[in-house]
Amino acid sequence: MTVAVFAILLLAAVPIALVLALTAVWYIAASGNTVLFESYPQQLFGAIESYGLLAIPLFMLAGELMNEGGVTRRLIDLARLLVGGFRGGLAYINLVANMMMAAIIGSAASQIAIMSRAMVPAMEREGYDKSYSAAITAAGGLLSPIIPPSMLFVLFGVIAQVPIAEMFIAGILPGLLLGFSFFLAIAVVGLRQQYPKGNWPTRAEARRALIMGVPALSIPLIIIGGILLGVATPTESAALASLVALLLGRLLYGELTLGQLPRVLTRTAVNAGLVIMLIAAAGVFGWVVTYERLPQMAAAAISALTTDPFLFLLLVIGSLLLVGMVIDGIAALILVVPILLPIATQQFDISPYQFGVVVCLTLVLGLLTPPVGAGLFIASSMTGASTLHIFRALIPFLLATLATLVLLAWQPWLTTGLIGR
């Protein structure tokens, strides 16, 4: 009945945090072992009692300050300077700007919302199809889970008890590889659809974009550089990024006023509260899963199917694609990692870094695939394009992501090379 209660609550559109918390309550009541209720509050608190999780609201705050302070627009102007003259130039600008934003925001949903407002109207004005413009923007959100910083990497690091900084470093090469595959997809679609040739900026425009864009580029450099050089932890880097975004928006660009700060802080608090509540509820649910020894049963079942690490990862990708279609990525991550990680590391000798990158990228695909597809609805609500049309335009990018996933599962060095493990 516990499985039935979980399914009924999920299908009834109950918020996923409540689904997980109530399912755990039902299990304890149905098991008759009511002494577990005494541990319930401890498990709720224990799931969020981690210094690393503080990075989540700080990265959210950095993204909000960047958007309000005009930093996002300067990064887009800088991207125009780099790739704006190619055929389908605005499509490439969209992607490069998304890669820059992925190095700051760390949340796919937030990135899709921010970039949809910034890029889709501009692409429409130059003759691009609205659905295709929204699809590129939504596809750019797939870069957030693997280009550091990443909220999913923070959570994975906490759950798997591996250094979050090393998880961030493990995502650099996969992020560049995924970005390159998206460039190829844009090139192929651009040639078939004959999108307009872009225009390179004039010397004066280029000078202005550099002068105003380089300070904005300092934010991702502070985050990634601080972590790579060991100067700051991911949480400290997030705090520094928020401070720099505040100073740039207030003092340099002059677009961020003190009157905007209460609204920015409120949005950050509400969004971070939702995520933290979900983590706490999923922690309780994961405790129940572990109590029932599901990881051991799953290990026995999978070991009977294959002993090849590559085939195991392909099975994980196929299974998590289905999971990600119906369950939020953060909740799914907290549910599946305690079950599958011990199997990956102990039974198949797979690096936790390779496993983490593959799992996080696979789960975030669910953000753009039916039946839930929250990312599709975000892009649709921000642009007015049909979710079905956006999904059709997304297919080349989803195929590119699947090809990247297979390559990451096949070649461990793509995730472990930079950290030497």
Confidence at residue 262, expressed as pLDDT on a 0 to 100 scale: 92
pLDDT at 258: 86
Question: Cβ–Cβ contacts within 10 Å for residue 219, how many?
Answer: 27
The predicted pLDDT at position 371 comes to 62
List residues bridging with 87 in a β-sheet: 197
Predicted confidence at residue 41, as pLDDT, reads 85
Q: What is the pLDDT of residue 84?
A: 65
The pLDDT assigned to 16 comes to: 74
Pair of tokens at residue 183: 């460039």
pTM of the model: 0.78
Q: In 3-state terms, what secondary structure has residue 14?
A: coil
Spell out the per-residue pLDDT of the chain, length 421, in tens: 777 887 788 778 777 778 888 888 888 888 777 777 888 888 888 877 777 778 778 888 887 888 788 887 787 778 777 776 666 677 888 888 888 777 666 677 777 877 777 778 877 877 778 888 888 888 888 887 788 777 788 888 888 888 888 888 898 899 889 989 998 888 888 777 766 666 777 788 788 888 888 888 888 788 777 877 778 887 888 888 889 889 988 888 888 888 889 998 998 888 788 778 877 887 787 777 767 666 667 666 776 777 889 999 998 898 888 777 767 677 778 778 888 888 888 888 999 999 999 999 998 887 787 766 667 777 887 778 888 888 888 899 999 999 999 999 999 999 988 886 6
Relative orientation angle of helices 151-160 and 352-365, to the nearest 10 degrees: 140
Region of residue 254 (phi > 0: left; psi between -120 and 50: alpha; otherwise: beta): left
- DSSP state, 232? S
9's enclosing H/E stretch is helix 2-11
**DSSP label of 252:** I
